Every structure is written in structure tokens, then in C-alpha cells.
Amino acid sequence: MKYQSFNEEIIRLIGGKDNIQAVVHCMTRLRFTLKDRSKAKTEELKALDGVIDVVSNNVAYQVIIGTHVSEVHAELISMLGIAPNSNEETEVNEKKNPLKAAMDLLSETMTPVIEPIIASGLLAGFLSLFSITGLISADSPTYQLLDSIRSAVFFFLPILIAMSCAKRLKASPYLAVALAATLVSSSINDVAGLSIFGIQLPQMVYANSFIPIILAVWFMGQLTVLLKKYVPKFLQYFLNPLLIMVICLPVTLLIFGPIGIWIGDGIGWFFEVLHNTFGSWIVVMLYAALQPFLIMLGAGNFMMPLALNFVNKMGYDPIFLAAATISDLAVSGAMLGYFLRAKDSKQKQLFGTVSFSALMGVTEPAIYGVFIKYRRPFVAVMIGGGIGGLFAGLMNVKTYSIVWGLMGLPSYADNQDFSNLVFMIISVVVGFVTAAIAAYILGIPQEEKEGQKKESLNENDQAKLATLKKVPLASVVEGKIVPLSEIKDQAFSTGALGKGLGIIPSDNRIVAPVSGEVSAVFPTKHAIGIKTEQGVEVLIHIGIDTVELDGKYFDTIVSQGDSVKQGQLLSTVDFAEIQTKGYDPTVIVVITNTMDYLDVVPVARENVVADDECLTVIL
């Protein structure tokens, strides 16, 4: 544990484990409910390295840590052996577009399942290579035993999918697995002539499938919620599991099984029509060119269910897995191009490291560490990946196993299809080399050139340049300005969390004071963090002790990771109701990394309206 010794000291100074009744966390502080506050050694806690301040009031005993408090809290409750307060840890339920919600579910479900799928796919590739070279005979016991890993992973895929998606769909993972195991059992899977309640069932193959079990687990989650609502609590432990299984199995066999298979067949039919009409090369080319964008958008795993469907129906994937491998190698090539072009040793180290990572099939470091910052590598990958994907599509390259990356290349020779392997190798080399050349020609991104220009200035010039730079912050809400020293919260009034000011609001709209990225949105919606391109970290704390309201009266419309513009609406707050409940509505704005700058200067005026400058950060 990163904070184990720190937490041990906190526990000791606060009176020991037995003195702690509960502990939750706010945006910056641990909030303890103590059995006896007199046992806490407050002054020693304040002096503890890592503690900013300690505030004890009628709300809670609060130990102010900083914005990394969530990490400290996670380890602390583990050491204490107590559960986090549900009010503080409740997730915000957002309404999503149904299609986006379905895509998110598929992506999140496939992520933990990828591990055994990759293992089985790579194993299949190496077994194919060993068989071709004569190292192991396909009829030998060794080959058969190792191949059973591959066949078992895909045969029992519904069980893996059920375990992965159950909690997301509010179902019991164990009941979901039991249902999936029932579907792939020898008494149901691919058995003809079955009937239930006198209704004839179609002959269905559930092994290797994934859509029927996802639909079934979704229904199980809905049924679970319904039964908890209407079945008496003293009967739920015994009765609910029985009702869930007895109801879910026939519904799955009668409805979700056929629907899932039809959806799978429909996907296959769509791409078959596309292939016969235009050629699958279009899809292969586009996916190989655009995969980095999909990864950046969090949709990198959306192709996995489609690839699985192809392998189940056709015995190979004609599109996605080959395109993914070509794209990964194009990313590696683009980073190699920048490695060869860069002169700065730190840049060379960065580009070389992420190039090797992408070569091994892990492209996230390159995409998030380089692509987003410099942008031009996207163009290089689109060129290299697109050309490599075009060649693979035109040559009808097939992926016989669920695997991608260099380690999976042997699987392309499965079924003695050596020409398929050769075409795939050519596609990968074309994508890699073309992306490297394109990146080298595109040159060093402008951001780096500007950085080198700044480095060429002498120290005096750099100091003068720094004194001329500032970041102005507009008001987050209309109202009356209050000096930070007058805020009725010691953590803020002492400046422990950084310099800033308070605003007594006269409007219900909270807007962004600067442009930047939303670095944090607390689950109870009372605090929002924004980080600017210059690195300024802004904390907007709405009201004092309003964490206790658990999000009530707050309508926050941004999420962590969102990009916002200055003046953009962040949240709507019913301040009248907050005051009615006895809470101070003052909105506090502080720069949490104040020490990184020359100064943070509040504006010298009494009232502010929208777009008025209220703070200035001197860089």
C-alpha cells in the first residue's frame, strides 16, 4: 500500500481503530465520525507530514489531505476493515443514449474476457506453427491437451461473458454463471426436439455465443430488482434465487436465445453483403486507419464481439483482427519515425519507449502520451494503417483465431494457408514502414519546436517572459465577493488548500472560470476540479459542508475528463433550498497548486457578474 505508514500514523493519532466509528472522504479531506474526540491528538495530527490541516466541528472531525484523498481513503478503509459510506461513494446515474449504453456495455464486458481469449488465440497460433514445422503432431496427446485450452475458452465463452457483465446489469454473478452453464450443458446446447411447458424449442447452439447470454443476464438483473421489491425480505434469501433461475431459463430459451442468434446472423449477413457488393477491403482499410481514434474514444473493444461472431459463424474473421494488428504496427512505425527525427534525448526516449510498446500490441501509451499532444501521428497512422489495411483487404486475409499483434502472426497459417500468412506479413510491414516514413516527413510537431525555441532563451529572458504571463479566471457565479480569510471553513480560510476567494451567490448557475479539462467531479456534486493547459488546478467548492446533502439540490452536467470552455455551464444549484436546510451557500474558488506560481491575486471589487475577472494566476 502506497499510504500504509501514513494511514497507520493517522489511526494512531486519532485514537486507534476502536475510536473510529466511520470515515468517508470529501474532495480534499477525510471526514471521521469518532466515538470520543478527546482521544484524538489534533496538534500532532496537524504536524504529521502529509496532513494540511485538521478541522473539528459539529459536522465531523476532518483531516485535510489534498486532492489525492480518495487514494488515501481507499487504503484506510481497507486497513480498518470497514465499508465506505454509501452516501459518499454512490455513483451518479446518468441517462445515456441507448445505442451508446449498449456499446459501452459490450466494451466493458469484453475487457476482462480478453485475457483468456488472447491466451487461447496465441496458443492456437503457436500450435499451428509447431504443427506446420513438425515439432508437434496434430494427433499427439500433447497437442490435443494444449488445444483443449483454446477449445474450452471458446466453448464456455457464455460463462465468461456472464461473469463479466452480471454486476454491470445488477444480476448475481453466480446465478448468471449458473444460467450460462445450463445453456451450454449437453442437455440443451444444440439439442433437437426440446420443449418446455408444452412449447417446442428451436435447436440452438449456445456454446461460443455471447449475445444470448448478455440479453439473458440483462433480464436477470431486471427480474432481481423486481423480486427484491415485492418478495418479503424474510423469504428473499431462499426464494429469489429459485424464482430467478426458474423464470430466466425458459425466457432465455424461448426469447433471448433466438433473438441473440438472429442478431449474430444479421451481423454476418450485413458484412457478407458488404463484401459481395463493395469488398471487405473498405472496412479493413478504414478500421486499420481509424483504430487509434476509437481507442481514444474508449471504444477500442467494440470490434471484439464482431470478430467473435465471425469466428463462430465462418471459422475466421475477415476484417477486424487483421486490421487491429496492422493499425498497432502502424502506430509503432509512426513513433519510430518520430524517434528517428527527434534530436532531444528525452523525446527520443519517449518515442522509442512507446514505439516498442505498440510493437508488442499495447498502443495506449503512444495514443494518450504522444498522439493527443502532437496530433500529427494520427495522420501518419491513417496513411500507413490505411495502405496496409487496403492490401490485406484486397488479398482477403483471414484471422483464424481471436488474436492480434506480432505474436499472433503464426495463426494466419492455420489450415495450411501459407499464402494467407505471407499476405498478412506484407500488410503489417507495409503499414509499419509507410507510417514511419509519413511520420518522419511530417516532422517534429509544432509544440516541440516552440518548446525548443523557449529553451534557447537565456535565463534572464525566460524570467522576464514568465513575469509577463498570467492566467485570468472569470467568475464562476454572480454574487458578492468574500475574502478567503472570512470563509467559515478553516481549510479554506487559512489558505491551506491554496489562494482564492469566496462568492456569496445571487444566481443558481455555476460556470467554468477557465477553459480546460474537468479533472474531478465529486459524486455528491458539490465540488468540481478543472485543470488548464498551463497546468493551473482550479477547485470550485459549492457551499460549506454541503457534502452532507449527498447531491440533493445539485444538477451537475459535466463529467470527469470533459473539456470545457470559459463561461460554459457546469452545474445548476438550488441555493435557496441549501440555505433553507441550514447550509452556507458560499461558492469557494481556490488554486490548489498555488505554490507552483508567483502569486494568485483576487480582484479588488465587491460584486461580480458573468465574465467578470475574479482571480489572476501569475505564472
Angle at 610 between CA 609 and CA 613, to 5 degrees: 80
Which has the minimum average pLDDT: 37-46, 89-98, 453-462, 541-550?
89-98
Which has the minimum average pLDDT: 183-197, 318-332, 416-430, 439-453?
439-453
The residues facing 541 across adjacent strands are 527, 588
- Looking at residue 368, its pLDDT comes to 59
- Looking at residue 314, its pLDDT comes to 77
Residues 472 and 381 in one domain: no
3-state SS, residue 282: helix
| Residue 139 domain flag | no
Closest CA to 537 of 587, 448, 471, 477: 471
Q: What share of the chain is helix, strand, coil (3-state, %, to 5)?
A: 55, 15, 30
pLDDT tens string 384-420: 999 999 999 888 888 887 777 777 787 787 767 778 8
Number of domains observed in the structure of the chain = 4
The better pLDDT of the pair 233, 504 is held by: 504
3-state SS, residue 279: coil
Mean pLDDT to the nearest integer, 573-592: 92
CA distance 65 to 424: 54
Whether residue 114 contacts residue 301, with contact meaning beta carbons closer than 8 Å, is answered with yes
The pLDDT-based confidence of 593 (bands split at 50, 70, 90) is confident
Residues 314 and 445 in one domain: yes
Unique residue bearing C-alpha cell 448478455 = 214
Which has the minimum average pLDDT: 59-73, 75-89, 446-460?
446-460
Residues 290 and 425 in one domain: yes
CA distance 229 to 247: 17
Instruction: Report the percentage of the chain scoring pLDDT > 90.
Output: 28
Of the chain, the end-to-end C-alpha distance in Å amounts to 35
- Looking at residue 459, its pLDDT comes to 54
| Residue 440 domain flag | yes
- From 391, 417, 449, the end of a domain falls on 449
CA distance 204 to 193: 11
Residue-number span of the structural domain to which 391 is assigned: 278-449
Burial code (b: 16+ CB inside 10 Å, e: under 16) for 457-490 equals eeeeeeeeeeeeeebebbbbbbbebbebeebebe
CA distance 539 to 355: 36
pLDDT at 257 > cutoff 90:
no
**Domain harbouring 610, CATH code:** 2.70.70.10
Report the residue count for the chain.
Answer: 619
Mean pLDDT to the nearest integer, 171-196: 90
Unique residue bearing C-alpha cell 444538477 = 555
CA distance 596 to 591: 10
CA distance 503 to 483: 9
* DSSP string of 436-473, one letter each residue: HHHHHHH-S-HHHHHHHHHHTS-HHHHHHHHHT-EEEE
Locate 580 and state its grid cell.
Answer: 433553507
pLDDT at 477 > cutoff 90:
yes
Backbone angles phi, psi at 614, to 5 degrees: -120, -25
- Looking at residue 244, its pLDDT comes to 93
| Residue 137 domain flag | no
pLDDT at 90 > cutoff 60:
no
The better pLDDT of the pair 319, 274 is held by: 319
Whether residue 179 contacts residue 220, with contact meaning beta carbons closer than 8 Å, is answered with yes
The better pLDDT of the pair 89, 278 is held by: 278
CA distance 183 to 204: 9
CA distance 333 to 382: 12
| Residue 118 domain flag | no
- From 33, 65, 89, the end of a domain falls on 89
Residues 294 and 267 in one domain: no
Residues 442 and 295 in one domain: yes
Residues 502 and 580 in one domain: yes
Mean of the per-residue pLDDT values of the chain:
81
H-assigned helices in 317-417? 320-341, 345-359, 364-366, 372-374, 376-394
pLDDT at 28 > cutoff 70:
no
Locate 121 and state its grid cell.
Answer: 488465440
Q: Is the dihedral of CA 273, 277, 283, 286 positive or negative?
A: negative
CA distance 225 to 220: 9
Closest CA to 306 of 314, 297, 295: 314
Which has the minimum average pLDDT: 6-10, 176-180, 383-387, 469-473?
469-473
Whether residue 580 contacts residue 568, with contact meaning beta carbons closer than 8 Å, is answered with no
Locate 309 and state its grid cell.
Answer: 461472431
Amino acid residing at 376:
R
CA distance 184 to 162: 12
pLDDT at 162 > cutoff 60:
yes
Nearest-10 Cα torsion for 486, 487, 488, 491 = -120
The residues facing 57 across adjacent strands are none
Residues 349 and 439 in one domain: yes
- Looking at residue 99, its pLDDT comes to 63
- From 40, 64, 89, the end of a domain falls on 89
| Residue 115 domain flag | no
CA distance 353 to 366: 9
Residues 258 and 285 in one domain: no
The pLDDT-based confidence of 192 (bands split at 50, 70, 90) is confident
Nearest-10 Cα torsion for 307, 309, 313, 319 = -30
| Residue 336 domain flag | yes
Classify burial at 279, counting beta carbons within 10 Å of its beta carbon; exposed 0-12, middle 13-18, buried 19 or more: middle
pLDDT tens string 343-360: 877 778 878 887 887 887
pLDDT tens string 108-127: 677 677 778 777 777 776 77
Residues 472 and 595 in one domain: yes
Which has the minimum average pLDDT: 125-129, 477-481, 507-511?
125-129
pLDDT at 297 > cutoff 70:
no
- Looking at residue 457, its pLDDT comes to 47
The pLDDT-based confidence of 518 (bands split at 50, 70, 90) is very high
Unique residue bearing C-alpha cell 484523498 = 69
Amino acid residing at 39:
K
pLDDT at 277 > cutoff 80:
no
The pLDDT-based confidence of 540 (bands split at 50, 70, 90) is very high
| Residue 594 domain flag | yes
Radius of gyration of the chain (CA): 29
Residues 424 and 556 in one domain: no
pLDDT at 588 > cutoff 90:
yes
Residues 331 and 382 in one domain: yes
Q: What counts of helices (H) and strands (E) characterise the chain?
A: 23, 20
CB neighbours (10 Å) of residue 388? Answer: 33
Ranked by mean pLDDT, which of 286-290, 311-315, 508-512 comes out on top?
508-512
| Residue 482 domain flag | yes
Residues 299 and 443 in one domain: yes
The pLDDT-based confidence of 454 (bands split at 50, 70, 90) is very low
Whether residue 570 contacts residue 522, with contact meaning beta carbons closer than 8 Å, is answered with no
The better pLDDT of the pair 354, 526 is held by: 526
Active-site residue list: 26
